[in-house]
């Protein structure tokens, strides 16, 4: 009889604790642009690069332009920061600018202080944490790879790159 009473008491103590859990989340977002501080508001879960047209001007025959430097501004609430990836819309290209006949002028680029290969399009960290967009966080630089020919065909040369901004 004594043994039976002890067993009942053990079962009674194995009770579950119940409660209410409230979860919420703030999605990350970012706006990145060149030249000017970012004043726009972030949009939930949206990572935007502000389209830009960079005019490197007239390229002297048999010579090079001076490097063109663009300041980078980023506003993000991503606690781990954001990255930037640049790809050529032609896919196969190495970042050349081309005229309508596809004569090429070879260019080179650097992003955040390091050489950037458009062909390999590495993902580069812009920030490692949140950023309010008020100050430049680095630079994007465009240079000619070498002097153009002294009889380089005239015309307008251009390239369009896709930019992908993502959170880390």
Partner 1 sequence: MKKLLSIAAVAALFTTGAIADTITVNGVVLAGAQVSFGSAPAGTLVAGTFAFEDAVVGFESLALDQDNVDNQNVFVKTNSNNGVSIALGTTPDLSDGTHTVPTTYALGGVDFVAGTAQSLTGGTNDGSVALANQFTTTAHPAADQVSGAYTATITATIAQN
Q: Which of 28, 138, 26, 164 has the alpha carbon at shortest distance from 83?
A: 164
CA 135 to chain centre: 16
Q: Which of residues 85-144 bind partner 1 (CB under 8 A)?
A: 86-87, 89, 97, 99, 101, 105, 107, 140, 142
The Cβ of residue 138 has, within 10 Å, a number of other Cβ atoms equal to 20
Longest dimension (CA), the chain: 111
Q: Which of 35, 40, 52, 129 lies at the binding interface for partner 1 (CB under 8 A)? A: 52
Q: Which of 74, 51, 69 has the alpha carbon at shortest distance from 128?
A: 74
> Toward partner 1, which CB reaches closer, 37 or 59?
59
> Toward partner 1, which CB reaches closer, 18 or 51?
51
Minimum Å distance from CB 3 to partner 1?
A: 40
- 61: contact with partner 1 by CB under 8 A: yes
Q: How far is CA 165 from CA 11, 66, 78, 82, 84, in A?
A: 57, 28, 12, 7, 5
Minimum Å distance from CB 33 to partner 1?
A: 9
DSSP state of 13: H
Each residue 7-46 as x (binds partner 1 by CB under 8 A) or -, in order, gives ----------------x-x-xx----------------xx
> Toward partner 1, which CB reaches closer, 5 or 65?
65
Distance between CA 136 and CA 71 in Å, rounded?
Answer: 6
Q: Site residues (CB under 8 A) for partner 1?
A: 23, 25, 27-28, 45-62, 65, 86-87, 89, 97, 99, 101, 105, 107, 140, 142, 148, 150-167
């Amino acid at each position: 009889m004594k043994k039976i009473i002890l067993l009942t008491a053990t079962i009674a103590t194995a009770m579950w604790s119940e409660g209410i859990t409230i979860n919420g989340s703030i999605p990350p977002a970012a706006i990145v642009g060149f030249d000017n501080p970012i004043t726009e508001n972030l949009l939930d879960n949206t990572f935007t690069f502000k389209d830009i047209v960079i005019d490197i001007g007239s390229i002297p025959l048999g010579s090079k332009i001076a490097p063109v430097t663009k300041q980078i501004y980023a506003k993000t609430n991503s606690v781990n920061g954001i990255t930037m990836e640049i790809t050529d819309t032609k896919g196969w290209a190495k970042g050349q600018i081309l005229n309508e006949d596809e004569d090429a002028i070879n260019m080179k680029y650097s992003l955040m202080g390091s050489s950037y290969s458009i062909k390999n399009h590495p993902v580069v960290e812009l920030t490692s944490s949140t950023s309010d967009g008020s100050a430049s966080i680095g630079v994007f630089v465009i240079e000619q790879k070498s002097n153009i020919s002294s009889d380089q065909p005239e015309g307008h040369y251009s390239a369009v790159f896709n930019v992908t901004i993502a959170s880390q």
